[in-house]
Structure 1
Amino acid sequence: MSLDLKRTDSAPITSVDMLLEGFRSAEKPRAQHRLGLEHEKFVYPVGGARSVPYEGSSGIGALLERLAPGGYTPFRETPDSPIIALQKGMLTISLEPGGQFELSGSPFVTAREAHAENLAHLAEVKAAAAPLGLQLVAMGYRPFGTTDAVSWMPKTRYVAMRQSLPERGALAHHMMLMTSTVQVSMDWEDEADCVRKTVLIARLTPLLVALYANSPLRDGKPSGYLSFRSRVWDEVDPTRCGYLPAFFDGSFSYRAYVEWALDAPILFLRRNGQYLRPKMTFRRFMQEGYEGSPADLSDWTDHLSTLFPEARLKKIVEVRGADCVPADMTGALAALWRGLLYDRAALDEAERLLPRLTLEQQRAFHDTGRREGLAGRLEGHELHRLAGEMVAIARRGLLRLDPADAPLLDVLAEVAASGKSPAQRVLEAWEKNPNPETLLARCAL
């Protein structure tokens, strides 16, 4: 996701083939495959349950200021505007709209390297947060309060999205302000490899949602979902979220993704240091231009970053189904998908784990995963057992590929064997002691 108001001039788009070439250019030999972690988390006052604003001596901005001397380059949209990100090498610390603190990690060969980087990041941020009276909290959705109580971060892109997305879905602001996730990004070798991996990610996403469900509360009450974060995405924008039909009917390809993306409305265009909001799909923009300006490849890159399917293609494929969880489960996410996707035998085995479902059946499966977590069932099969087998397949893949990564999966095997998603333990703790500050302290990183 671009940080800058400015844009790089690039070639006007003259054909769909130019868009397909963007995915072809991302192909890498297997020996060059890497993975990357993204870890969002909430920031709360120690002993408090209100979100932290950007401003103030104990605000999000002050936390960035304290971190900046640690070898980071601060990023501002203009020389006079506040810091909205920190960069060090290929690592970026940025802010989601409601002040969720996000690490976009470096690309690594191994999951344990990505995990180590995240642990170092967490230790550094916690050390900077402590003197400010702040703590980091791992949950998928803010358990207390409403969107009205959350401050927006000072980033111009979010102003545009704040205006555009609510026109598409009633829970758009909830997604922006109230949710937090962990993601992993993976590489592919060629189009056939991309198709297999993307489709498998989509098919397994309900199991991932169940295994990582960690957002059962909404405004201090059980929401009826173990992953309310996942439920929020239903009402953000149906044209840019969820599952592509092509994931399940055998027609997925680079072109299928491009054609789907072309029919999604544009959220914004960057022009002359401003974010414009044209009311058109990207397909129409490509055909007609906007205010005399043609669509170019920089616009397409921006557009791809505003699409949110369960498996998202850019120069990598993103796995998007997990709630924010503690660090051990975050590291395990990288190990899980390395084992499933980067070992050919594991990929073959994982493709046979679940029955082939239609789009509607997949949506129902997804709803089961987010409502019931590991206690749910698919065609009579207990989800905790299916999740356990998914983890076991990944472990076998890692033992062939790189045994040193395999121990990271231990925590997932334990969660699956327990039959309880993390959210169920949150609910148990909340029922025993319905005190917001106590629960947030329990979920602190």
Structure 2
Amino acid sequence: MSLDLKRAIAQPITSIDALVDTFRAAEKPRSEHRLGLEHEKFIYPKAGGKPVPYEGPSGIGALLEKMGATGSYVPFRETPDSPVIALQRGIETVSLEPGGQFELSGSPFFTAREAHAENLRHLSEAKAAAEPLGLQLVAMGYRPFGTTGDMPWMPKTRYKVMRRTLPERGKLALNMMLMTSTGQASYDWADEEDAVRKTVLVARLAPLMVALYANSPLLEGKPSGYMSFRNRVWEEVDPSRCGYLPAFFDGSFSYRAYVEWALDAPLLFLRRRGEYLHPKLTFRQLLKEGFEGQPAEMGDWTDHLSTMFPEVRLKKVIEVRGADCASAEMTGGLAALWRGLLYDKTALEEGERLLPKLSFTEHKAFHDTARRQGLAGKLRQQELDRLAAEMVAIARRGLERLDPQDAPLVDPLARVAASGRSPAQAVLEAWEKDPRPEALLARFTL
């Protein structure tokens, strides 16, 4: 989650080339490449399946307060008089998604095991704070019960604006904001060629990751027909800012291709005079016309990039976005999986050869199969569980060359792939055995 920190001194954007240069400025020597991990999860009362509001003695605000009482965190407020919406400890941040999903945005580390250890510490602290409040942390990709109308909203100005603007773009936009939970990992690049290869590889392999992590089969208390309904939701959020870029698959992807794509997405908000405004402009129009007599600023571009939601996103890092929220072990494996695939040269080459070259249309069909059927699906005549197992094996070999101590972190992924069963299968079986909210949620606590 973006905390929308105070913006730097306004810097006008002089050209599209200046936007391209923001990605060039993010290049790092390979010796400095790190990774980051984000892990969202749902908070529910132990006694039932109703969502937890921010307010109240057992609310999300109280949970933040209890975690912050240890003294190791600095509370974050938008203004001195507004509620606490995040906790910061150095770069590590505990923050809130719109419906109260609790998120760790971790520190950058050289190894996946460091990121995993930080997440385990965070989960231990969060559970210790949640216990006396009668709350529990639940790992699923989509809320299995309730509708968007049942959900509370967290007290963040950015979300108030997006609550108005995103539904204009897609009918499941509020579902995305309130009902979904994910795990994400972020990686560095050395130069444009490196960024292109890594981004394209993540895009091509993303459906295998979707199948491997599919953990959201229920919708309003019943099977949805998808192993990852969370991923299905993103199809109807905003087609101009979600999904895949055609350039990922036709050999034309570049810094400029990403910039040109983002320029044509409408603004979700524009920060001016300490307010969140909603001019009916694409970023390209803002760049050409300005707003209220003032030019577009670099801070506007930073805000805009944070509202672009492709399956793999470029900001100052490459963000891998396709996994449902899963267990702590699977989340640690996420960090290790992509470290092995992206940071080892041989693994990167093997990953590029794993799948047949698909057109944009063929890839979208592959992606739909993955979210519907999970590991039970097929790409042409190849089973997705076998392809996912080979993807994990390639990553493991990469880790063994890079850093053997990280390699065991992908073992839980290998076991899931070998079973041929996406995590969603266990959710469906638990629901069939006992569909009561309190029983199901207790089964999948972190």
Give the TM-score category using the shorter length.
over 0.9
Contact 1:6 1:270 in 2 (8 A): no
Cα drift, residue 273 of structure 1? 1.4
Instruction: State the partner residue of 1:23.
Output: 23
What corresponds to 1:322 in structure 2?
Answer: 323
Cα distance in 2 between the residues matched to 1:342 and 1:23 = 19
Q: Secondary structure at the match of 1:197?
A: helix
SS at match of 2:103: strand
Counterpart residue number, 1:10: 10
SS at match of 2:358: coil
Once residues 274 and 143 of structure 2 are traced to their aligned partners in structure 1, the CA distance between those partners, rounded to angstroms, is 33
Q: What are the within-5 Å matches in structure 2 for residues 288-327 of structure 1?
A: 288-327=289-328
The Cα of 1:188 is off from its aligned counterpart by 0.3
Please give the alpha-carbon distance, in whole angstroms, between the structure 2 residues aligned to 1:354 and 1:404. Answer: 28
Aligned to 2:41: 41
The verdict on how the C-alpha distance between 1:369 and 1:27 changes in structure 2, with shifts beyond 3 A counting, is same
SS of equivalent to 2:47: coil
Write the deviation string for residues 205-229 of structure 1: whole angstroms up to 9, x where unpaired: 0000000000000000000000000
- What TM-score, normalized by structure 2, do the two folds share? 0.99
Alignment of 1:94-109 (within 5 A): 94-109=95-110
**Deviation readout 1:98-118 (Å, 9 max, x if unpaired):** 000000000000000000000
Equivalent residue number for residue 235 of structure 1: 236
422-431 vs 4-13, which deviates more?
4-13
> How far is 1:272 from its partner?
1.4
Q: Give the Å deviation of 1:77.
A: 0.8
* Aligned-partner Cα distance in 2 for 1:299–1:5: 13
TM-score, L = length of structure 1 = 0.99
**Structure 1 residues 234 and 318 mapped into 2: Cα distance closer, same or farther (>3 Å)?**
same
Structure 1: gaps (5+ residues): none
- 2:272 is the counterpart of 1:260: no
Amino acid across the alignment from 2:278: R
- What is the correspondence of 1:38-117 to structure 2 with a 5 Å cutoff? 38-70=38-70, 71-117=72-118
Distance in 1, Cα, partners of 2:175 & 2:145:
12
CA distance in 2, matches of 1:413, 1:100: 28
Contact 1:262 1:281 in 2 (8 A): yes
Shift of 1:310: 0.5
Match of 1:44, SS state, is strand
1:371 equivalent in structure 2: 372
Partner of 1:14, secondary structure, is coil
Q: Which amino acid aligns with 1:104?
A: S
In the aligned structure 2, how far is the partner of 1:355 from the partner of 1:52? 45
1:443 is matched with which residue? 444
CA distance in 1, matches of 2:256, 2:341: 25
Deviations 1:365-411, CA, capped at 9 Å, x for gaps? 00000000000000100000000000000000001000000001110
Cα deviation for residue 6 of structure 1 reads 4.1
SS at match of 1:352: helix
The 1:284/1:17 distance shift into structure 2, 3 A limit, reads same
Match of 1:177 in 2: 178
Q: Does 1:122 align with 2:112?
A: no
Q: Is the 8 A contact 1:119 1:327 kept in 2?
A: yes
Distance 2:226 2:95 in 1: 29
Question: What is the CA–CA distance in structure 1 between the aligned matches of 2:88 and 2:400, rounded to whole Å?
Answer: 34
Deviation readout 1:235-288 (Å, 9 max, x if unpaired): 000000000000000000000000000000000011111100010100000000
Counterpart of 1:333 in structure 2 is 334
Distance 2:417 2:430 in 1: 19
Cα distance in 2 for residues equivalent to 1:174 and 1:28? 36
Deviations 1:46-95 (A, max 9, x none): 02101000000000000001111331110111111100011001100110
Report how far residue 2 of structure 1 moved. Answer: 3.7
- Whole-angstrom CA distance in 2 between matches of 1:93 and 1:128: 13
Instruction: Write out per-residue CA displacement over residues 305-325 of structure 1, whole angstroms, 9 at most, x where no aligned residue.
Output: 000000100000000000000
For 1:191 and 1:66, the matched residues in 2 are separated by 44
- Cα displacement (A) at 1:7: 2.7
Letter in 2 for 1:198: T
- CA distance in structure 2 between the aligned counterparts of 1:275 and 1:371, rounded to whole angstroms: 37
Opposite residue 398 of structure 2, the aligned amino acid is: G
Q: Is the 8 A contact 1:266 1:303 kept in 2?
A: yes
Given residue 109 of structure 2, which amino acid in structure 1 is its aligned partner?
A: F
Take 2:17 and 2:10, find their aligned partners in 1: how far apart are those partners? 16
Deviation at 1:8, TM superposition (A): 2.3
What do residues 17-37 of structure 1 show as CA deviations (whole Å, max 9, x unaligned)? 111111001101111000000
* Equivalences, count: 445
Quickly say closer, same or farther: Cα 1:2–1:272, change in 2 above 3 A: farther
* Counterpart amino acid of residue 38 in structure 1: E
- Tell me the SS of whatever aligns to 1:351: helix
Alignment correspondent of 1:383:
384
Q: Percent identity?
A: 74
Give, in whole Å, the separation in 2 of the partners of 1:400 and 1:6.
Answer: 42
Unaligned runs of 5+ in 2: none
d(CA) in 1 for partners of 2:356, 2:5: 46
Cα distance in 1 between the residues matched to 2:2 and 2:173? 20
Partner of 1:168: 169
Give the Å deviation of 1:4: 3.6
The alignment partner of 1:391 has SS state of helix
The Cα offsets for residues 177-211 of structure 1, whole Å up to 9 and x where unpaired, read as: 00000000000000000000000000000000000
**C-alpha distance in structure 2 between counterparts of 1:417 and 1:6, whole Å:** 47
- Runs ≥4 in structure 1, deviation > 2 angstroms? 4-10
Provide the rounded CA distance (Å) in 1 between the counterparts of 2:7 and 2:53: 28
SS in 1 for 2:354: coil
**Kept in 2: contact 1:6–1:273 (CA 8 A):** no
In structure 2, what residue type is equivalent to 1:317? Answer: I
State the AA in 1 paired with 2:134.
G
Measure how far apart 1:9 and its partner are.
2.3
Contact 1:140–1:215 (CA<8 Å) still a contact in 2?
A: yes
Counterpart in the other structure of 1:419: 420
Distance in 2 of aligned mates of 1:431 and 1:212: 21
